[in-house]
Chain A
């Protein structure tokens, strides 16, 4: 079985988030990481590899430094890494990004494509389903459990108040939730392999069946009209009181605001 996992390098907004005095995000103080939902997708692929045997190829689109997340993926157990990078691909929205990744994946053999549900920087959850549309294969998003059954895949797909158990013929694309699993750590052997591994680098010329008019900033139907750092609601009062005083304080405020 051949599995392609799409991963993205993102700024780390979780955990060590730093704020500027005006309440905006201090990006300079933040590290980059493998997007958490993508890491769960990679872990799901590696578990299928452990259970059924599979070749796992990780692919990312980004700046040359995005190679770091491919090496991290190989250190976790992926077999091959492909970096899609080219100046003409920059500024892409989800349409152009999904066209780019679909164009790259057309070079590969695959039974399963796994992507994270969404990236923590854009939060769109669009690129996975859009890739599946361009490749004309089924998509199952929000996967919480994945099993293989012959030439099909059986997936638990989460909704608000229910889940569906779905069966799809492969090839198929699945989007994974970070809640799907606990990703494994890199192994010492894996880290050695990752340092040695040769990363395949593709540019525009390697994309199959994609018109220039669908790539990069120029190929993006959506355009940014305005972007601003959000001004957060200011802090109110903050008090440190013993228990009885704290309770009186809260009840007093609730009365003042006619909550009780």
Chain B
């Protein structure tokens, strides 16, 4: 492998139902930083059926170039045709960096693609930068410059590791949604759009989609909420989440939950905060009846203000809370709701 042949920062522009996922814009935003450090460009790779019209939106968020792989086989996400699309783009255009969102789709697609083209893949990165590897010179070992240094949490968020991929290209990472910043949208910006179709011939690896079942939800995505009222096992039952719903309503907040609540069947998976759920950074995070397992903390500790209510004074949630109240949520939450109602009405 001649590493010098590989140029440019590429990002997978995930779309579902011909709507671009916000992670694509976040990756372009981060990709711009990396491309500026390397003196190169950002290319978005748009894969789907009848998706060419979405290229302009990627340009408005900063993509210099958009490669469109458009084919009827790519209408709904399936691992194989999508893996074939990305692997073919990589073999044809030879990027030095390839970023994929750590979404349910990206975490399925990334490993399949990296295994096909034989390169490394760092999962669930929360920080990306260009630097030297090894970071400090080591006698007898070449220090390579302009490497992608990929930082990620492991051990349920308790360890932070920085990973490099010095001898293979592209350097691939999946990136946690909600962590990287989008650039401001520049209306009317255009990118160089290239259409590329490597050909799609179904084989044993193509699965058949029998049915697509969409969850019906009218709630705000918890990753976009400014205030989250989050409940844990301590809330006690699905019915008792009413207390949290009432508090959320007064504040214009959104209700979220811990994994224990999803496991118990009280709330759906899309409301789960944490390592196996979503990473959130609201202005205010109420942790109510949440003990604060490290997997949960990994998904919310970057919140601006954390207010915890828990009857167990040794609960680990108090280790990250700005304001911790030891007490009975069944008494405090309804009283807080009433008080806030009065305060807001008085304004």
- Given A179-B263, A222-B122, A246-B332 in contact, is the A138-B154 Cβ separation under 8 Å? no
Task: Point out the residue from A134, A229, A246 that lies within 8 Å of B158, measured CB to CB.
Answer: A229
Asked if A23 is at the interface (CB within 8 A of a chain B CB), the reply is yes
At the interface with chain B, which of A51-59, A69-77, A82-90, A166-174? A166-174
Closest to B325 in A: A246
Query: For B108, what are the chain A residues with a Cβ–Cβ distance below 8 Å?
Result: 129, 139, 141-142
Q: Is the contact region of chain B dominated by helix, strand, or loop, or is it mixed?
A: mixed
Closest to B278 in A: A160
Per the bound structure, the CA–CA distance linking A127 and B112 in Å amounts to: 9
Per the bound structure, the CA–CA distance linking A121 and B159 in Å amounts to: 10
Query: Are B159 and A228 in contact, CB atoms less than 8 angstroms apart?
Result: yes
Query: Are A221 and B325 in contact, CB atoms less than 8 angstroms apart?
Result: no
Query: Are A224 and B163 in contact, CB atoms less than 8 angstroms apart?
Result: yes
Query: Are A240 and B155 in contact, CB atoms less than 8 angstroms apart?
Result: no
Per the bound structure, the CA–CA distance linking A232 and B133 in Å amounts to: 26
Query: For A121, what are the chain B residues with a Cβ–Cβ distance below 8 Å?
Result: 154-155
Query: Are B323 and A249 in contact, CB atoms less than 8 angstroms apart?
Result: yes
At the interface with chain B, which of A12-20, A42-50, A189-197, A201-209? A12-20
At the interface with chain A, which of B43-51, B208-216, B232-240? B208-216
Asked if A1 is at the interface (CB within 8 A of a chain B CB), the reply is no
Asked if B321 is at the interface (CB within 8 A of a chain A CB), the reply is yes
Query: Are B227 and A130 in contact, CB atoms less than 8 angstroms apart?
Result: no
Query: For A123, what are the chain B residues with a Cβ–Cβ distance below 8 Å?
Result: 123-124, 153-154, 156, 275
Query: Are B213 and A225 in contact, CB atoms less than 8 angstroms apart?
Result: no
Q: Which of A236-260 contact B (CB under 8 A)?
A: 236-244, 246-251, 253-254, 257, 259-260
Q: Which of B300-347 contact A (CB under 8 A)?
A: 301, 305-307, 309, 313, 316, 318-328, 331-332, 335-336, 339-340, 343-344
Q: Which of B152-200 contact A (CB under 8 A)?
A: 153-168
Query: Are A140 and B324 in contact, CB atoms less than 8 angstroms apart?
Result: no
Per the bound structure, the CA–CA distance linking A257 and B269 in Å amounts to: 31
Query: Are A226 and B207 in contact, CB atoms less than 8 angstroms apart?
Result: no
Q: Is the contact region of chain A dominated by helix, strand, or loop, or is it mixed?
A: mixed
Asked if B206 is at the interface (CB within 8 A of a chain A CB), the reply is yes
- Given A168-B207, A221-B118, A232-B301 in contact, is the A161-B163 Cβ separation under 8 Å? no
Query: Are A240 and B207 in contact, CB atoms less than 8 angstroms apart?
Result: no
Query: For B215, what are the chain A residues with a Cβ–Cβ distance below 8 Å?
Result: 161-162
Query: Are A260 and B163 in contact, CB atoms less than 8 angstroms apart?
Result: no
Closest to A24 in B: B158
- Given A230-B153, A251-B336 in contact, is the A179-B162 Cβ separation under 8 Å? no
Query: Are B206 and A138 in contact, CB atoms less than 8 angstroms apart?
Result: yes
Query: For B29, what are the chain A residues with a Cβ–Cβ distance below 8 Å?
Result: none
Task: Point out the residue from A14, A142, A236 that lies within 8 Å of B104, measured CB to CB.
Answer: A142
User: For chain B, which range describes its interface: under 10, 10 to 19, 20 to 34, or 35 or more residues?
Assistant: 35 or more
Query: Are A160 and B210 in contact, CB atoms less than 8 angstroms apart?
Result: no
The smallest C-beta distance from A205 to any residue of chain B, in angstroms, reads 23
Query: Are A168 and B208 in contact, CB atoms less than 8 angstroms apart?
Result: yes
Query: Are A244 and B335 in contact, CB atoms less than 8 angstroms apart?
Result: yes
User: How does the 8 Å CB contact mask read for A122-158 relative to B, with 1 for contact and 0 for none?
Assistant: 1111111110111011111110000000000010001
Query: Are B104 and A159 in contact, CB atoms less than 8 angstroms apart?
Result: yes
Query: For A223, what are the chain B residues with a Cβ–Cβ distance below 8 Å?
Result: 133, 163-166
Task: Point out the residue from A14, A129, A154, A159 that lies within 8 Å of B115, measured CB to CB.
Answer: A129
Per the bound structure, the CA–CA distance linking A255 and B119 in Å amounts to: 52
At the interface with chain A, which of B54-62, B63-71, B91-99, B289-297? B289-297
Query: For A14, what are the chain B residues with a Cβ–Cβ distance below 8 Å?
Result: 156, 293, 295
Task: Point out the residue from B120, B297, B322 that lies within 8 Å of A236, measured CB to CB.
Answer: B322
At the interface with chain B, which of A60-68, A92-100, A104-112? A92-100
Q: Which of A223, A225, A249 has the most CB of B within 10 A?
A: A225
Query: For A253, what are the chain B residues with a Cβ–Cβ distance below 8 Å?
Result: 305, 307, 322-323
Query: Are A225 and B134 in contact, CB atoms less than 8 angstroms apart?
Result: yes
Asked if A28 is at the interface (CB within 8 A of a chain B CB), the reply is no
Per the bound structure, the CA–CA distance linking A163 and B307 in Å amounts to: 34
Q: Which of A121, A128, A140, A233 has the most CB of B within 10 A?
A: A233
Which residues of B are in contact with A by a Cβ distance under 8 Å? 16, 76-80, 83, 103-105, 107-108, 110-112, 114-116, 118-124, 133-135, 149, 153-168, 204-215, 217, 227, 251, 262-263, 269-270, 275-276, 283-284, 293-295, 297, 301, 305-307, 309, 313, 316, 318-328, 331-332, 335-336, 339-340, 343-344
Between A and B, 23 residue pairs with Cβ closer than 8 Å are: A13-B156, A17-B316, A94-B121, A95-B118, A122-B123, A126-B121, A130-B112, A133-B116, A138-B204, A141-B107, A161-B215, A161-B217, A166-B208, A179-B269, A220-B120, A229-B158, A230-B157, A233-B301, A247-B339, A248-B339, A250-B336, A251-B339, A254-B284
